[in-house]
A and B are shown apart, each in its own frame.
Chain A
Amino acid sequence: MNPDTTKVWNEAGARANAAAQTARRRVTIDPITRLEGHGKIDIFLDDAGDVERAYLQIPELRGFEVFSLGRPAEEMPQITSRICGVCPTAHHMAATKALDDLYQVEPPPAARKIRELVYNTFVMEDHALHVYILGGPDFIVGPQAPPEQRNVVGVIQKVGIEVGKKVISMRRRLRELIAYFGGKVIHPVLGLPGGVSKGLKPEDLPPFQALAKDTLDFALFTLQVFKDIVLKNPDYVKLITSDAYTHRTYYMGLVDAQNRVNFYDGLVRVVDASGKEYAKFPARQYRDFVAEHVEPWSYVKFCFLKPLGWHGFEEGPQSSVYAVAPLARLNVADGMATPQAQKACEEFFNTLGGKPVHHTLANHWARVVEMIYAAERIVELLNDPEITSTDLRVIPSAKPSVGVGVVEAPRGTLYHHFETDGQGLITKANLIVATQNNAARIAMSVEKAAKGLIKKGNVSEGLLNMVEMAFRAYDPCFGCATHSLPGHLPLCVSIYDPRRNLLRQLVQPASLKLG
C-alpha cells in the first residue's frame, strides 16, 4: 500500500474508533481492515490502565431471512453455501439435511454414504489448511518466533518445501473429489431432499481409493509433524496448558449411536466442565437447549445453554457458556470411530491430563486427531461396496412444514432451521453457525489473554500475537468479511489516552516484499 493510502486507512480506523469510544481508554485490534466497527477486538482499560473488559466483534450478515422468504426450500443448500466462501460444503450439507427433515425423507444408504464421503473430505481439506497454513504460524513456526517469520513463508521454511508441495497437492486432490460430486467446491450442487444428485461410477473408484490411502498417510504424517515440532517442545506444551488459555465451560458436539465423534450426523451431546453428560438431543430440539444472548456492544448473539439461563461470560460451575469445534467434539465423545484416530485421541487425553481438556490451544492438536478420523472414514467409505450403488434418492412426498439440520462444520456445530408453507416456500429461515456457538467463549479467551498482557497501561509488544492466538485456535469464521483488500490484512492495535487521543499504533510488521 502506498503511504497516502496507508495514511487514509489508518486515519479512517482512528476516526471510527474515536467516534465509538467511551470515556475509557481503549485498545483496538482490528483484524478485518475493510470494515469499521466490525470484526474487531476492542479492549477497554480502567483508570489504573489494566484491562477492564475485552470484546470480540464479528461482522453482521444482514438480510438472510428476508432474502430467503418465499423461495423454494430446495434452493437453500445453494443459497446458504454461497453466503460463506469459507465453509460452503458445511452449509450445503446442513441445509440438505434440513430438507430431509422438512420432507420427512430418509436418503438411501448409498446417498448417505456419498454425503458423508464428501463431507469428511471437506473437513480433511479444511483442517489441513488450518494446521499447516493458518494455525501454522502459532505452533509450526512458533509463538516466540520473530514476527517476520510468523507467516506462511515461515511455515514452509520450517517444514520444508517438499512438505509444502505435499500440502498443496493433497488439498487440490481432495478438492477434486468434492468437485466430482458437487460440480464446484465453492458452490456444490449435490444434496437433494432424500438423496444426492450424482453417484460414483465404478470405473472412477480406483483413483479415489488411491487418494484415500494417500490421505490417511498424509494425516498420520501430520500427526508426526505435530508431535515432532510441538509436543517435543516443552515450551509449547507449557503454553498449551497455561492458565491464560484455559476455560472450564460446557462442550457441545455431534456423536454417533456409540457416543463417538461424527461430523455428518448423530445426536448433539453436551457435557459439563467435569465431563459429565448434561444433555443429548436430536437437531429438532436445538431450541430447547440453545438460546442467544445479546449485548449492547456487539452484533453477535452469544449462544448459551437455555435451561441454565445466561450467567454472563463466566466459567466454572456457574457457567452456561459452551464451546464447539475440535476440542469440544473430542470432549463430548466417548472416543473415535476409527482405530488410528482412537489411538491418537487416547494419547491426546493421556498427555493433557484426562477428559475433559479445557485448554483452548489444544484445539490445534484435536484438529490433527480429527484429520486422522476423517481420512480413515474416507478410506472406509471408498471401500464400501455400496458406495457405487445407483440407488441415490427417495423422492419426497410428505407435506413440508419445519426442517432442522445439523452438521459439525470444521469449526463447530452448525444448525439450519427452515419453515415453509404447504408449497415448500420458505416462511422462516434461521442459521446458528459455529462461530456464534463459540462466541461467548472466544470473547472470554480474548479477554483473558488481554488481561494477562496489559498491566498498568503497558501494552506488551506480544499482545498482538497472544490475543490472536486466543481466537485463532477456535478457527472462527468471519465468512463474508474475508475478501479484504488490498490483498492482505494488517493487524492494528490502537492505544488511546483517557482523552481519546491516539497515543500510538502497533501494526503487525510487514517484512517481505512481494515484488
Chain B
Amino acid sequence: MEASSPHVLPGKAPPRTKPVLVLGLGNDILSDDAVGLNVAREIRRHLSDSDGIEVQETSEMGLALLDHIVGFADLILVDAVQTRQAPPGFLHEFDGGQLKILSIVSPHFLGVGEIVALGRQLGLPVPGRVKIFAIEVKDPFTVGDSMTPALRRVLRPIALRVLAAARQLHGNRRVSRGG
C-alpha cells in the first residue's frame, strides 16, 4: 500500500526518526512504471530498524514530492526510465549533486532538482544529498497491474543494490559525524 503523504508545515521540520529516505516513484497500474514502487516494497523486506532508513512509495509527482522529502538528511529516489539505450532492467545511477535546475518545460512537471532547490529557498530542511536510481523499463504505457518478465527478474538484485547505497549514505553520515 502507498504510504500516506507526511504533511509538514513550511519552515518546520517534521518528526523524522530516520535520516535516510528511499522513495519509490511510479504508477502501479501502468505495467513497468510500477518498478520504483516494487523496488521500494522489496527493499522493505530486507530492511531492519537499525538501518536508519525510511522507505516510502508514492504515485505523486512534482511539488507533491516536497511533502515526502522534507526533514530527511539524505534522499534516494527510485523511478522508471526509458532511454532505449540499455536493456530492460538496467540500472542507471545519477548523483543528485549533478542535477541542475531547468526552466519548467512540462506543464505539470517539477524535477527533483527544482523541488529540492525550492524547498531550500523556502527554508525547509530538504535532503542535503540526493541519489537517483533509474531503472530501464520496457513498457510504462500499457494499463496493467503486472510488470514485464525482465523487470520482475531484476527486482531483488536492484533492491539490494539500492539498499546498499542507502546504507552507505547512512554509514557515511555516522562517520562524518565522528561516530
Q: Which residues of A contact B (CB under 8 A)?
A: 1-2, 5, 8-9, 11-12, 16, 31-32, 34-36, 59-64, 66-67, 79, 82-83, 85-86, 129-130, 133-134, 137, 147, 150-153, 156, 161, 164-165, 168-169, 171-172, 175-176, 179, 184-187, 464-465, 468, 471-472, 474-478, 480, 482-491, 508-515
- Most chain A CB inside 10 Å of its own CB: which residue of B30, B36, B134, B144: B30
B10 engages A169 (CB within 8 Å)? yes
Contact B99 A184 (CB under 8 A): no
Chain A nearest Cβ from B15, distance in angstroms:
16
List 27 A-B residue pairs with CB atoms under 8 Å apart, sorted by A's residue number. A9-B83, A60-B141, A67-B143, A79-B29, A83-B30, A85-B61, A137-B104, A152-B110, A152-B114, A152-B118, A153-B114, A156-B122, A171-B63, A184-B5, A186-B59, A480-B140, A482-B62, A483-B80, A486-B134, A487-B112, A487-B113, A488-B112, A489-B102, A489-B109, A511-B101, A514-B96, A514-B117
Shortest CB–CB separation between residue B92 and chain A, in angstroms?
Answer: 7
B51, CB-defined interface residue at 8 Å: no
For A156, give its contact among B30, B60, B121, B130 (CB under 8 Å).
B121
Residues A137 and B103 in contact, CB atoms below 8 Å apart: yes
Q: Which residues of B contact A165 (CB under 8 A)?
A: 10-11, 122-123
- Known contacts A12-B84, A63-B142; decide if A5 and B92 are in contact (CB<8 Å): yes
CA distance A480 to B141 in the complex (A): 7
> Is B9 part of the binding interface, using a Cβ–Cβ cutoff of 8 Å?
yes
In the complex, the answer to whether B116 meets A514 with C-beta atoms within 8 Å is yes
Assuming the A-B contacts A85-B61, A511-B100, are A176 and B7 also in contact, with contact meaning beta carbons closer than 8 angstroms in the complex?
yes
The complex places the Cα of A34 from the Cα of B26 at a distance, in Å, of 14
* A55-B26 Cα distance, complex, nearest whole Å: 28
Contact A153 B60 (CB under 8 A): no
A477 to B123, CA, bound (A): 30
B98 at the interface (CB under 8 A from A): yes
Cβ of B174 under 8 Å from chain A: no
Query: Which B residue's beta carbon lies closest to that of A515?
Result: B97
CA distance A8 to B132 in the complex (A): 17
Task: Specify which chain B residues have a CB less than 8 angstroms from the CB of A509 in the assembled complex.
Answer: 102-103
Are the C-beta atoms of B122 and A164 separated by less than 8 Å? yes
Across the interface, which residues of B come within 8 angstroms of A465, CB to CB? Answer: 103
B111 contacts the other chain (CB 8 A): yes
Chain A's nearest CB lies how many Å from the CB of B99? 4
B130 touches A486 (CB 8 A): no
Which residues from chain B sit less than 8 Å from chain A, CB to CB?
A: 2, 4-5, 7-11, 25-30, 33, 36, 58-64, 66-67, 77, 79-85, 92, 94-114, 116-118, 121-123, 130, 132, 134, 140-145
In the complex, given contacts A67-B144, A82-B27, A129-B62, what are 7 additional A-B residue pairs having Cβ atoms less than 8 angstroms apart?
Answer: A63-B144, A483-B80, A485-B134, A489-B104, A491-B103, A512-B101, A514-B97
The distance in angstroms between the C-alpha atoms of A61 and B99, with both chains bound, is: 29
A486: chain B residues within 8 A (beta carbon): 81, 92, 94, 99, 132, 134
Q: Is the CB of A151 within 8 A of B102?
A: yes
Given A63-B144, A82-B29, A510-B101, A484–B109 Cβ distance below 8 Å? yes
Query: Judging by beta carbons under 8 Å apart, are A11 and B99 in contact?
Result: no
Contact A86 B59 (CB under 8 A): no
Identify A85's interface contact among B11, B59, B66, B92, CB under 8 A.
B59
Interchain CB contact (< 8 A) of A483 among B11, B25, B98, B130:
B25
**CB-CB under 8 A for A8 and B83, given A32-B106, A86-B61:** yes
Q: How far is B31's CA from A483's CA once the two chains are assembled, in angstroms? A: 14
A-side contacts of B28, CB under 8 Å:
82
The answer to whether A67 and B29 have CB atoms under 8 Å apart is: yes
Once A161-B122, A512-B117, A514-B130 are accepted as A-B contacts, the answer to whether A489 and B85 lie under 8 Å apart by CB is no
Which residues of B lie under 8 Å from residue A474 when comparing CB positions?
107
Could you say which residues of chain B place their CB within 8 Å of the CB of A491?
Answer: 102-103, 105
**Does B82 contact A35, Cβ atoms closer than 8 Å?**
yes
List the B residue with the shortest CB-CB distance to A79. Answer: B29
Task: Give Cα A79 to B59, complex, Å.
Answer: 13
- Say whether B10 contacts A151, CB under 8 Å: no
| Contact of B108 with A168 in the complex, beta carbons under 8 Å | no
Residue of chain B at shortest CB distance from A150: B103
